Amino acid sequence: MTKKVLVIGSSGQIGTELVEGLRARFGADHVVASDIKEPQVKQDGPFVMVDAMDRRGIERIIEKHGITDVYLLAALLSATAEKDPAFAWKLNMESLFIVLELAREGKVQKVYWPSSIAVFGPTTPKDATPQHTIAEPSTVYGISKQAGEQWCAYYHKRYGVDVRSIRYPGLIGWKSAPGGGTTDYAVHIFHEAIRHQAYTSFLSAGTTLPMMYMPDAIRATIELMEAPADRVKERTSYNLAGFSFSPQEIAAEVGRHIPGFRMDYAPDQRQAIADSWPRSIDDRAARADWGWKPEYDLRSMVDDMMVNLKRELVVG
Ligand code: AKB
């Protein structure tokens, strides 16, 4: 069967880069992008407007394009979800159920659904957080991701649905804008540093969080989805680690590229969310099961971000 991919929520931070990565690998016509918003950047290949909660609309796209694999990325992230918990729960869960049901009915072969370090909470061990550990999330986003993970495992065990997932840390990239996350400061800092040589962080100086550079995250996602099914042993979601840093540490790295760069701190309501999350992640299960290995560390990520974003913002 020819692989045909549907990405739901393709205009967001991950979707923008995932569509590009999938098209580079499988061909532009083999990847259908879809969202309720226009794409952030102009891309080759089909784009369809659809709401992630519109089952009939999604089914029509699947039938029309002969879709085999669905990547469901539509979600409200941690900070935005706290502003409207009821809607966050509705969107994050309803969209997942639609896709799991379509897979159960045999209308698609494989499903990808992103989880997050937000499944962990204040009672979780903070350093080298294990794959299997206490997970008592304190945000609605975390609760929806944790419940979603359990539904993925349930659909796999009960109905044989081939659903795969990664618990993303904070993601940093230059091609797309983040929206509504607690880790977004680590992207904003680059834009503000290049434009104004200054940034005010909404997290305190010493708040260490797990992060990853987007090329690693996209590669991990496609590698997990392309791994033989018997190598995918965790059917809730895989821990995945890149590197960890605090606002103070990334400010020092940014300062190497922007002379006179000034960082201030004004923690807001996102601080409490960050304080409930791990500082670092143990991803040995992903490494052992399907061969995950990150390429970027803090320094090489900052170097690459600076080169690309300076060019983007100057050429504009
Ligand atoms: C967020 O900050 O909400 C996301 C995440 C860690 O899932 N980036």
Q: Where are the domains of the chain?
A: 5-169+212-239, 171-211+243-279+296-315
Nearest alpha carbon to residue 131 among 235, 242, 227, 215: 235
- Check pocket membership of 278 for ligand 1, CB cut-off 6 A: no
β-pair partners for 48: 34
Q: Quick check: 195 pLDDT over 70? A: yes
Residue in 82, 116, 124, 144 to alter for ligand 1 test, most ligand atoms within 8 A of Cβ: 116
- Check pocket membership of 13 for ligand 1, CB cut-off 6 A: no
Domain 5-169+212-239 falls in which CATH fold?
Rossmann fold (3.40.50)
Residue whose Cα lies nearest atom 7 of ligand 1: it is 116
What's the chain's average pLDDT?
97
Nearest alpha carbon to residue 285 among 219, 214, 236: 236
Closest atom of ligand 1 relative to the 117 alpha carbon: 6
Residue in 120, 140, 145, 171 to alter for ligand 1 test, most ligand atoms within 8 A of Cβ: 171
Confidence at 314, pLDDT banded by 50, 70, 90: confident
Residue whose Cα lies nearest atom 6 of ligand 1: it is 170
Cβ(76)–Cβ(180) below 8 Å: yes
- Check pocket membership of 116 for ligand 1, CB cut-off 6 A: yes
Give me the CATH code for the 171-211+243-279+296-315 domain, please: 3.90.25
End-to-end CA separation in angstroms for the chain: 41
Q: Quick check: 316 pLDDT over 70? A: no
- Judge residue 259's burial from the number of C-beta atoms within 10 Å of its C-beta, 0-12 exposed, 13-18 middle, 19 or more buried: exposed
Residue 262's H or E segment, with its range, is strand 262-265
Closest atom of ligand 1 relative to the 78 alpha carbon: 3
What mean pLDDT comes out for the span 164-184?
Answer: 96
Nearest alpha carbon to residue 119 among 131, 136, 132, 133: 136
Closest atom of ligand 1 relative to the 77 alpha carbon: 3
Sheet holding 170-172, edge to edge: 170-172, 209-213, 243-245
What mean pLDDT comes out for the span 173-197?
Answer: 96
Residue whose Cα lies nearest atom 1 of ligand 1: it is 181
How high is the pLDDT of residue 1? 76
Q: Hey, is 112 helix, strand or coil?
A: strand
Catalytic residue from among 71, 112, 141, 168:
141
* 141: annotated active-site residue: yes
- The backbone region for 128, taken as left when phi is positive above 0, alpha when psi lies in -120 to 50, beta otherwise, is left
Closest atom of ligand 1 relative to the 277 alpha carbon: 6
How high is the pLDDT of residue 223? 98
How high is the pLDDT of residue 234? 98
58-96 residue pLDDT tens = 999 999 999 999 999 999 999 999 999 999 999 999 999
What mean pLDDT comes out for the span 205-214?
Answer: 98
240-283 residue pLDDT tens = 999 999 999 999 999 999 999 999 999 999 999 999 999 999 99
How high is the pLDDT of residue 315? 65
42: its two tokens = 């102009």
